[in-house]
Amino acid sequence: MPRSAPAQPDKTMTMREAIAAHVHDGGTVSLEGFTHLIPTAAGHEIIRQGRRGLTIVRMTADIVVDQLLAAGCVTKLVSSFVGNSSAGSLGELRRRIESAEGEPLEFEEYSHYGMICRYLAGAQRLPFYPLRSYAGSDLPSVNPAIRTVTSPYADERVHVVPPVNPDVTIVHAQRADRAGNTQIWGLTGIQAEAVFAARRAVVVVEEIVADEVVRSDPNRTVIPAHAVDAVVECPRGAHPSFAQGYYDRDNAFYRSWSAISRDPDRLQAWLADWVHGTADHAEYVAKLGPEFWARLEVGEALSLPVNYGRRL
């Protein structure tokens, strides 16, 4: 049945269009990517468009979250790790939490697996998800969303977390087709679950590829098209994090962030220069310059092909 395949709806748009269409003031926005493929460019466009009152859901609240906080976009953070990787602190985040000055930040704290389970519950439309953490921890005492359920099989209690269903999830990936079939390799993190848990999903990719590229390896598709609402091509959009096989991590920038973010004026100047001062991510990339990118270049280590087979 050669013509029975669906017509691929084209969901490609610019970052500006995608953020304008799917990120709204007061909304809950999940940005995922565990060290790898962090959707930084999307965060910058949210800042450029001046969104306000967002709830950000992100396991590892790192530089992009600090930037969104400093730009005044965020009133609530849901996270399991608030640090600049192993490279230091997030200045703005610490100011917002540690001091009584400035706009207060509502903070909802979980463990990593607690966050994972919230996405799992959200993706599976479950009222809760059980996990073996939290017994004896002080965290449930400051986070009333962490509760317990008694097993109906033995006299045993287990902690549970509620689902999270973001208004929109934004993830970065190596490649997708125009319809949104998204392929990720290297660390795949929690991206698929975050997308399935969301009402809308925006996938930002290093490159939009021909259907045939995706279809040569359907097991590589981590997110199927029907879960995706917008596909944005944005090369190097994960900087300063990395995209396996595309460019390496900018460790120097991570290290520099502690100093930049420690000083509010310097942080605002950084935003003015690199985010408000660039029209879009292409300008940001150009501003960094070719010599900069050459340092993050990676060599080739190709996967060996597998045979999917063809009926003879």
Partner 1 sequence: MSPGHVECTSSELLAVVASRELRARRTVFAGIGLPTLAASLAHLTVAPELEIVYESGVCGAHPSQLPETIADAVLITGAEAVLPMPVLFGYVLQGGHIDVGFLGAAQIDRFGNLNSSVIGDWHAPKVRLPGPGGAMEVMASAREVFVVMRRHDRRSFVDELDFCTSPGPHRALAEGVRPLGAGVTRVVTELGILASSGQGDELRLVAVHPGVTVEQAREATGWDLAVAPDLGTVQPPTAAELRLLRDEVDPGRVYLR
The residue ranges that bind a second copy (CB under 8 A) are: 125-132, 147-154, 156, 158, 160, 162, 174, 183, 185-186, 188, 213, 216-217, 219-220, 244-246, 248, 297-312
Residue matched to tokens 């005044």: 72
Binding partner at 280 among partner 1, a second copy, none, C-beta below 5 to 8 Å by kind:
none
Of 251, 263, 283, 286, the residue at the interface with partner 1 (CB under 8 A) is 251
Report the C-alpha gap between 215 and 157 in whole angstroms: 45
In terms of CB distance, is 213 or 282 closer to partner 1? Answer: 213
Query: Which of the residues 162 through 191 are near partner 1 (CB under 8 A)?
Result: 177, 179, 181, 185-190
Cα 92 to Cα 105: distance, rounded to the nearest angstrom: 11
Of the residues 16, 24, 76, 94, which one makes contact with partner 1 according to CB under 8 A: 94
Interface with partner 1, residue 82, by CB under 8 A: yes
Size of the site for partner 1 (CB under 8 A): 83
Q: Give CA–CA dist 298/300, Å, rounded.
A: 7
Whether residue 208 contacts residue 173, with contact meaning beta carbons closer than 8 Å, is answered with: no
Total length of the chain: 312
Binding-site partner at residue 101 among partner 1, a second copy, none, CB < 5 to 8 Å by type: none
Q: How far is the CB of 61 from a second copy (least distance, A)?
A: 24
The option from partner 1, a second copy, none interacting with 85 (CB < 5 to 8 A, set by class) reads: partner 1
**Two tokens, residue 196:** 């399935």
Considering the complex, state which of residue 101 and residue 300 has its C-beta at the smaller distance from a second copy.
300
Euclidean distance between CA atoms 101 and 91, whole angstroms: 14
Please choose which of partner 1, a second copy, none residue 129 contacts, taking the beta carbon within 5 to 8 angstroms, the exact cut-off set by kind: a second copy
Q: What 3-state DSSP class applies to 80?
A: coil
Long-range contacts of 115-118 (CB under 8 A, 24+ apart): 115/57, 115/59, 115/78, 115/79, 115/80, 115/190, 116/59, 116/190, 116/193, 117/161, 118/161, 118/162, 118/163, 118/164, 118/197
**Residue 225 touches which of a second copy, partner 1, none (Cβ within 5-8 Å per kind):** partner 1
**Site residues (CB under 8 A) for partner 1, limited to 24-53:** 34-36
Amino acid identity at 282: A
d(CA 281, CA 40): 10
The one of partner 1, a second copy, none whose footprint includes residue 240, by CB under 5 to 8 A per kind, is none
**Which residues ranging from 212 to 231 are in contact with partner 1 (CB under 8 A)?**
214-216, 218-219, 221, 224-227
Residue 138 in contact with partner 1, rule: CB under 8 A: yes
Question: Is residue 284 involved in binding partner 1 (CB under 8 A)?
Answer: no
Rg from Cα positions in the chain:
20
- Residue 192: enclosing H or E segment and its boundaries? helix 191-197
Determine if 110 is a binding residue for partner 1 (CB under 8 A): yes
